[in-house]
Structure 1
Amino acid sequence: MSSRVKPLLDLDPADVRRARTLARKAGRPVVKLAQSHTTVSVERATLRLAGLSGADHERVPWVNHLVDAVRGEVGLEHGITSPVFDALRRGEAPDLLTLAQKAASGSVQFRLPEGRAATAAAKDARREVSRGLRAIDKQRATRDRLIRRHGDPQQRPWIYLIVATGDIYEDIPQAQAAAREGADIIAVIRSTGQSLLDYVPEGATREGYAGTYATQENFRLMRAALDETSKELGRYIRLTNYASGLCMPEIATLAGLERLDMMLNDSMYGILFRDINPIRTFVDQRFSRQIHARAGIIINTGEDNYLTTADAVEAAHTVTVSQLLNEYFAKEAGLEDWQLGLGHAFEINPELPDSFRMELAHALLARQLFPKAPLKWMPPTKHMTGDVFRGYLLDGFFNLVGAMTGQGILLVGMMTEAVVTPFLSDRDLALQNVRYVLNAAGGLTEDFHPPRDGFIQTRARGVLGEAIDLLTQITDEPGRAPLLEAIADGTFGLMKRPADRGKGLDGVVVKAESYDNPATTMLEEGSDR
């Protein structure tokens, strides 16, 4: 995608370098914090890689039972795998599933092995976890093979369309129909509230509120259906879901195992908009992004959400700061530029003079700062009034900005936003809007050149300057992790989220010196055995 990006804003290269340097400086203490902690979800994800799945008759996953039992007896400071695989070697159970079942009834004793026993347990754990990583590697290779066989969409941006009935068996035919109508990416919106569940539901689900539950079986069913449609259409259809919330590492793992292609995965969304503890979020996010890097999954970040709670003009620089931080955290975890679906949105009040010109400036700034990233461009939502004709026009202007600035992923806007859950006919009209604009104006990236020192260039440089000022304030903030202080002060999205509060804090554990996790070790090594 970088070949389509031209230096249209005359940004000062020194300013761009300074912005990235400050983002690294702000992010580095948070990475160190993540490296020194683990969470219950990281440990559960590790057991899932080792092959543990399923749930009891009340649909509580066995990984939850096993992690809770180990934590209750010996803690998680040393990691889950050492006591678990030591118990298997001592004959407490013949396999992980039976061990979890016995642990749920309190009939297993765990210990922290030492010496040769610890070495043997670590060897067994690495062997079993490596099976999961090899399964993820195999799914990545399958994706590559199917893309070669069926082909990628020829045009950019890719058209991203949402399906969310609550019933996976209703989602599937709607997703297939959307692909036939032109969608390149199908996003299955997650059921409201799932991000606050500290477990992953099990099996295929048929009830969800404003979305469908993210489960391994739902992932498998939808991926298989879209594979059929990819073959039918002669282009590979990508599947998206959400790796966020209290089970971010586990959902990322299941996505890798079932060959999802994109995952919504933002470094601060859960903190700001779901009041999840900041430390829990950053620890879970790092592990989940290591999995995404391994699986070849593109992440989509959530900067567009800031503009639903803060003014899109006044807070434009906070979007840029978040994009720079998301880039740093992602690359530190192993993701490459082509996997960075950094988010931004068309959310300026259309009543403001020059609103369209400012939208162009903001979209171009993101495109210029991240020339190799497939940016995710989000449609207007905040200022949709219920007037469907006005809304259809706004979506057309949004699509035009996407075409003019070379965005990578374009989410289809709905004229009935904020009125009703879209009907299938609404989706058809919205896709017609996208197709018309991209067919008529898709080549404008070649022709569009804002005047030197004109309104658009001046506005973009101003936003970048404000972003540098904010990053400077964050890095100058006293404290062990000044970014956490900035989040606590309400810098992003006007949400104040202190590091010692929030949901999931009780699931955060400080690592002991002897902490061992074969999953993180192999992910950082790039090995699979």
Structure 2
Amino acid sequence: MAPQGKLDLDPVMVRKARALAARAAEPVIEMARTHTTVSVERALLRIAGLAGADADGRPWVNHLADAVRDQVGLEHGVALPVWDALLRGPYRSPGDLARAAARGEAAFRLPRDADAREAREAARRAARSGIARIDRRRAERDRMLAEVGDPPQPWIYLIVATGDIYEDIPQAQAAAREGADVVAVIRSTGQSLLDFVPEGATREGYAGTYATQENFRLMRAALDDVSRELGRYVRLTNYASGLCMPEIAALAGLERLDMMLNDCMYGIIFRDINPRRTFIDQRFSRQVHARAGIVINTGEDNYLTTADAVDAAHTVIVSQLLNERFGHEAGLADAQLGLGHAFEIDPSLPDSFRLELAHAQLVRELFPGAPLKYMPPTKHMTGNIFAGYLLDAFFNLAGVMTGQSIILIGMMTEGIHTPWLSDRDLALENVRYVRDACGGLAEDFVPRPGGFVAERARRVLGESVELLERVERDGLLTAIAEGTFGVTRRPPDAGKGLEGVVPRADGYFNPAIEILDDEDPHAVHAEEEVPA
């Protein structure tokens, strides 16, 4: 078969890479299908409408899931014990039951026969009602896009991170007025290690703002206001990662977020979260994202902050292919796969920009239907703001030349301090200039056949296939334990959150998973769009 694309990639080699990634992913997918976690079970309770927390800030979903685990275990799921208790009374709602559980006054059992059938049906109705709310929020996004319009790509992505949601809101709106198309409310440092989701609007956070349902609601409303003002839809991003990945995904769907950072290995490598916990939580979270029409952003860019961007370029490709496979299996369409990569080659290296173009164009051609997220230089920003501003301009140029979909703006003060508003303004000016001046330059950028860029891309693809062969042979969990991605070694039976992993028993029941497994999220969405 003839080569294809600007890089003349061998289509046989591309198909082989995908086949290897699928085989490498399969044991992990099977593990996710046969296990649950405390956060998956709490996510069901949130989808069913349980919200709020006690006076100390401990969420009711935690109280209820913990009580079920202590009395009957989680291997059958929380649904049967919880809805059986609700049917037996005297509780009027899941909230009443959770408060009784927190006081040690609720008794749980695994119902049988007719009682089990009644509990299943009641739980299914509650889960169906919550998923219908997520469906309505997705349809609401579509109506708003039709009302105000969708900005052209590449979308400009900007981070807001004051720690105070009431400070984040005006900063986010100001950024949108200056050209930002996507606003990411970065999470407070350490939230990924909390095994609960904080409640309410928060005004304290270190290097970020806590991800809570109320903060999601407030920022979504603020960006809707500025979207109508500007006549273009401004997207909202947060983080579905860490120990509460499934719950935060559910809250994002309920509050109409548009993108969520959701990587298959980031939490393992950079937060020391147990690999098994991460992959199990990830599958459920991606099922919710698929249903909600949320675009995920993956974190391959982070590997290049700890590994060399030239030597480890193929590990980025391998991770992207794995993320693609895990995403497809969970129901995500190509248009929801915001696969990540980064401009992190040492600028002092000869031909560094040509190498960057090769890597960026390779990713673009391997994933033509994906809204790729391209990350700016960070590791080699020295504090020389003039050199940094120039390096960011080269990054913006590479993004435009290779047709990237989402460009996170680079800051010339990266690595010095949390950027000031003036720094963000200059960064937005930089990317606007490059994007406007280059126009459709991607159409004209065609690497010379057999030249430096094309040969580098083919070499990286070849190295990716070689690594995938090893990962497929030895197992993905083994590869992670050996430090294949991002250098850091993470064994499968260590790390935070392992105690929250539970093998499913025969008869395990989670009505949210049942619905998400059985229904094509995109077919359901298409039906929603058909006029009555």
- How would you bin the TM-score normalised by the shorter chain? over 0.9
Instruction: Deviation per CA, 1:101-134: give whole Å up to 9, x if none.
Output: 0001110110000101000000000001111100
Is residue 2:508 matched to residue 1:515? Answer: yes
Instruction: Deviation per CA, 1:11-65: give whole Å up to 9, x if none.
Output: 0000000000000000011000000100000000000011100000001000000
SS in 1 for 2:250: helix
Taking the TM superposition and a 5 Å limit, the aligned residue runs for 1:2-21 are 7-21=5-19
SS in 2 for 1:178: helix
Taking the TM superposition and a 5 Å limit, the aligned residue runs for 1:145-294 are 145-154=143-152, 156-294=153-291
Answer yes or no: is the 8 Å Cα contact 1:168–1:206 preserved in 2.
yes
Match of 1:365 among 362, 366, 381: 362
| Aligned residue identity for 2:496 | K
Q: Structure 2: 5+ residue runs without aligned partners? A: 525-532
Answer yes or no: is the 8 Å Cα contact 1:377–1:402 preserved in 2.
yes
Is residue 2:409 matched to residue 1:412? Answer: yes
Alpha-carbon distance between aligned partners in 1 of 2:347 and 2:433, rounded to the nearest angstrom: 22
Alpha-carbon distance between aligned partners in 2 of 1:424 and 1:111, rounded to the nearest angstrom: 55
Alpha-carbon distance between aligned partners in 1 of 2:142 and 2:232, rounded to the nearest angstrom: 12
| Aligned residue identity for 1:77 | E
Answer yes or no: is the 8 Å Cα contact 2:382–2:415 preserved in 1.
yes
Is residue 2:320 matched to residue 1:327? Answer: no
Alpha-carbon distance between aligned partners in 1 of 2:133 and 2:364, rounded to the nearest angstrom: 35
Match of 1:443 in 2: 440
Alpha-carbon distance between aligned partners in 1 of 2:446 and 2:110, rounded to the nearest angstrom: 65
SS in 2 for 1:287: helix
Match of 2:40 among 39, 42, 47: 42
Alpha-carbon distance between aligned partners in 2 of 1:473 and 1:506, rounded to the nearest angstrom: 30
TM-score by length of 2: 0.97
Answer yes or no: is the 8 Å Cα contact 1:320–1:464 preserved in 2.
yes
Match of 2:480 in 1: 487
| Aligned residue identity for 2:512 | A
Match of 1:99 in 2: 97
**1:527, distance to aligned residue in structure 2 (A):** 7.8
Match of 1:3 in 2: none
**1:393, distance to aligned residue in structure 2 (A):** 0.2
| Aligned residue identity for 1:484 | L
SS in 2 for 1:220: helix
Task: Go from structure 1 to structure 2 and tell me whether the alpha carbon gap of 1:50 and 1:527 turns closer, same or farther (over 3 Å shift).
Answer: farther
Answer yes or no: is the 8 Å Cα contact 2:331–2:520 preserved in 1.
no
Match of 1:460 among 435, 454, 457: 457
Task: Go from structure 1 to structure 2 and tell me whether the alpha carbon gap of 1:527 and 1:7 turns closer, same or farther (over 3 Å shift).
Answer: closer
Alpha-carbon distance between aligned partners in 1 of 2:93 and 2:338, rounded to the nearest angstrom: 40
SS in 1 for 2:395: helix
Is residue 2:392 matched to residue 1:395? Answer: yes
Alpha-carbon distance between aligned partners in 1 of 2:48 and 2:425, rounded to the nearest angstrom: 43
Answer yes or no: is the 8 Å Cα contact 1:51–1:132 preserved in 2.
yes
Answer yes or no: is the 8 Å Cα contact 1:92–1:108 preserved in 2.
no
Match of 2:336 among 324, 327, 339: 339
Alpha-carbon distance between aligned partners in 2 of 1:55 and 1:263, rounded to the nearest angstrom: 24
Alpha-carbon distance between aligned partners in 2 of 1:54 and 1:337, rounded to the nearest angstrom: 35
Alpha-carbon distance between aligned partners in 2 of 1:92 and 1:509, rounded to the nearest angstrom: 30
Alpha-carbon distance between aligned partners in 2 of 1:424 and 1:31, rounded to the nearest angstrom: 43
| Aligned residue identity for 1:172 | I
Instruction: Deviation per CA, 1:451-490: give whole Å up to 9, x if none.
Output: 000000000000000000000011112xxxx100100111
Match of 1:472 in 2: 469
Question: Matched residues, percent identical?
Answer: 70
Alpha-carbon distance between aligned partners in 2 of 1:287 and 1:17, rounded to the nearest angstrom: 27
Match of 2:530 in 1: none
What RMSD over aligned residues (CA atoms) do the two structures have, in Å?
A: 1.0
Match of 2:518 in 1: 525
SS in 1 for 2:58: coil
| Aligned residue identity for 1:230 | S
SS in 2 for 1:202: coil
Answer yes or no: is the 8 Å Cα contact 2:7–2:362 preserved in 1.
yes
Alpha-carbon distance between aligned partners in 2 of 1:69 and 1:492, rounded to the nearest angstrom: 38
| Aligned residue identity for 2:483 | G
**1:442, distance to aligned residue in structure 2 (A):** 2.6
SS in 1 for 2:100: helix
**1:92, distance to aligned residue in structure 2 (A):** 4.1
Q: Structure 1: 5+ residue runs without aligned partners? A: 1-5
Task: Go from structure 1 to structure 2 and tell me whether the alpha carbon gap of 1:433 and 1:527 turns closer, same or farther (over 3 Å shift).
Answer: closer
| Aligned residue identity for 1:459 | R
Alpha-carbon distance between aligned partners in 2 of 1:23 and 1:302, rounded to the nearest angstrom: 17
Task: Go from structure 1 to structure 2 and tell me whether the alpha carbon gap of 1:367 and 1:81 turns closer, same or farther (over 3 Å shift).
Answer: same
Alpha-carbon distance between aligned partners in 2 of 1:292 and 1:361, rounded to the nearest angstrom: 31
Match of 1:354 in 2: 351
Answer yes or no: is the 8 Å Cα contact 1:404–1:442 preserved in 2.
no
Match of 2:429 in 1: 432
Answer yes or no: is the 8 Å Cα contact 1:241–1:264 preserved in 2.
yes
Alpha-carbon distance between aligned partners in 1 of 2:179 and 2:49, rounded to the nearest angstrom: 37
Answer yes or no: is the 8 Å Cα contact 2:378–2:414 preserved in 1.
yes
Instruction: Deviation per CA, 1:191-221: give whole Å up to 9, x if none.
Output: 0000000000000000000000000000000
Alpha-carbon distance between aligned partners in 1 of 2:93 and 2:401, rounded to the nearest angstrom: 57
Alpha-carbon distance between aligned partners in 1 of 2:476 and 2:422, rounded to the nearest angstrom: 45
**1:299, distance to aligned residue in structure 2 (A):** 0.3
Is residue 2:64 matched to residue 1:66? Answer: yes
Alpha-carbon distance between aligned partners in 2 of 1:285 and 1:330, rounded to the nearest angstrom: 9
Matched positions, count: 519
- Most deviating of 197-206 and 443-452: 443-452
Alpha-carbon distance between aligned partners in 2 of 1:18 and 1:380, rounded to the nearest angstrom: 31
Taking the TM superposition and a 5 Å limit, the aligned residue runs for 1:129-148 are 129-148=127-146
Answer yes or no: is the 8 Å Cα contact 2:364–2:402 preserved in 1.
yes
**1:297, distance to aligned residue in structure 2 (A):** 0.1
What stretches of structure 1 move > 4 A for 4+ residues in a row? Answer: none
**1:276, distance to aligned residue in structure 2 (A):** 0.3
| Aligned residue identity for 2:357 | L
TM-score by length of 1: 0.97
| Aligned residue identity for 2:100 | K
**1:362, distance to aligned residue in structure 2 (A):** 0.1
